[in-house]
Chains A and B, each alone.
Chain A
C-alpha cells in the first residue's frame, strides 16, 4: 500500500512555502502600514484584509475564479498581455493559499508593530537613522517574534487549504493535486489505503511545523529585546 507518489506532499510544501513568502512581504508591509500610519478608511481596510479568515473558503474560491478566470478582469488581462492562464496551475493554488492565510500574517504583524515602543523609534530617528533603516533595524527586529508566530500558523493554514484551491486550481495529479485534495479524492474513491498514508503524512508535517514553531518561539524569546 506504499505505492504512494510523494508529488502531493512536495506540491503542498511548495505551495505553502510560496504563499508564506508572499505573505511575509505583503502581510508585514501592510501590517506595518496600518500600525503606523493613520488615514481614512484604515479600519475598513483592516476588515477587508481580515475577511479571508472568516469567509467560507468556497466564497474565496468563487471570488478568485471570477477574478482570475479566463473571462475575469484580471484573468483576461493576464491572458491578453502575457499569455498567462492561471486557472488549473500550481500558481493558482499559491494564490488561493496566500489569500486564505494572509490574515494570519497580517493581523499578528499589525499587533506586533503596534506593540513596538515608539520611543525607541524616536530615539533612532534623533540619531539620524533613515526611515528605511529604521524599519529594518529597529521596528522589524522588535516586532519579529509576533510576526514569526503568524508566519508559521499561515504556513500550516496554507498546507491545509482545500476549498478555494479545488475551485481555482482543480485537482491535476502531480500539478495541482495538493495533499488535502489527494486525501479527499482517495476517500471519495474508497481508496482507504492511500487515504491512511496521506493522512498520516499530513499529520506528521503539521506536528513538525508546531514543534518548529515552539522551538523558534523559545529561541527568539531568549534573545528578545526588553522594551519595557
Chain B
C-alpha cells in the first residue's frame, strides 16, 4: 500500500517536473507548428515544446480560465484583440507571423464543383461544413463571406458547424459533406482527397498573430520561441506548409 502512495505522488508530481514551453496554436497551424517546434528543440536542446492545438476561440477560453500557456498563436486578429483587451497577453510581444486564404472545397469524388458562393443554394450542396463562428476563426471568416453575399440566412439549414477547422476538413475528406470552408493550407494537407473550388473573399485578409501570454512562467523562453517563428528558418517552414508572408 505504501508503494502505491509513493507511485501515485510520483505520477502527480510528473507534470511539474517536466518543465517546458507550452504553445497554444490554432488548429490550422498543426503541421507547421509541429515542424517549428521540433526545429526549435533542435536549436535549443533541453527545451521541450508542448503544442496545444484547438480552435483559436477555444485556446483563448483556456487561457482566460488560467491554463498554464506561454505563447498564443491564433488564426485571426479578432481573437488576439480579445486576449489583449482582457490583459491576457503582453502586447509588446504581439506580431503577425503568417497569412492564409479561405477556400470553398469539395470532396474529390464530387461531380459538382461550384464557381461562386451563390451556387451553394443549389440541390447538389445539402451539407456545407463550416467552423463554428463563435469559436473557430475559419467559421467566422466564412460567415463574413456568406453574409457579404447575402447567403448566410438562406444556407442556415445546410451548415454543419464544426469544433475546429480540421473537423470540417475531415468531413470533406470522408465525403460526409458536399462542400466546406477551410484554409488553403488545410486543403493542401489532404490534396489527394479534396478539390479546391474557389477562394472565398475575406474582408481585410486572414492574418495570424502570436504573442506571449501575460502569465507565462517562462517569459524569456517564450520570447525566444516567438523570435524563432519570425526568423528566416521559422518562416521558411511555414511557407513550405503553404502559409503566406505576414
Contact = CB atoms under 8 A, between A and B. Distances in A.
Nearest to B62: A188
Interface in A136-176: 166, 170-173
Interface of B: 55, 57-58, 60-61, 64, 127, 132, 134-135, 159-163, 174-176
A91 to B, nearest CB: 15
A65 B174 contact: yes
Given A69-B176, A188-B55, A188-B163, A171 B132 contact: yes
A146 to B, nearest CB: 35
A190 interface: yes
Contacts of B64: 190
A190 B176 CA distance: 29
The 6 A-B residue pairs with the shortest CB-CB distance in the complex, in nearest-first order:
A189-B134, A188-B135, A189-B135, A190-B61, A188-B58, A70-B175
B162 A187 contact: no
A11 to B, nearest CB: 15
A113 interface: no
Nearest to B177: A88
Contacts of A69: 174-176
Interface string A173-201: 10000000000010111110000000000
Contacts of A172: 159-161
A71 B175 contact: yes
A53 to B, nearest CB: 25
Given A170-B161, A171-B132, A189 B57 contact: yes
Most buried by B among A166, A170, A173: A170
Contacts of A65: 174, 176
Nearest to B58: A188
The interface size bin for chain A is 10 to 19
Interface in A179-228: 185, 187-191
Interface in A63-87: 65, 69-71, 87
Q: Is the interface of A mostly helix, strand, loop or mixed?
A: loop
A102 B60 CA distance: 37
A187 B176 contact: no
A188 B175 contact: no
B108 to A, nearest CB: 12
Interface in A28-83: 65, 69-71
A188 B174 contact: no
Contacts of B60: 190
Contact of A187 (B55, B61, B159): B61
Most buried by B among A71, A87, A188: A188
B57 A188 contact: yes
Nearest to A87: B176
7 contacts: A88-B160, A171-B162, A185-B132, A185-B135, A188-B134, A188-B163, A190-B60
B61 A170 contact: no
A185 B131 CA distance: 12
Given A69-B174, A87-B176, A170 B160 contact: yes
Most buried by A among B61, B64, B161, B176: B176
Contact of A70 (B61, B132, B174): B174
A189 B79 CA distance: 11
Contacts of B162: 170-171
B61 A88 contact: no
Nearest to B174: A69
Contacts of A173: 161
Interface in A86-120: 87-88
A185 B176 CA distance: 22
Contacts of A87: 176
B167 to A, nearest CB: 9
Nearest to B129: A170
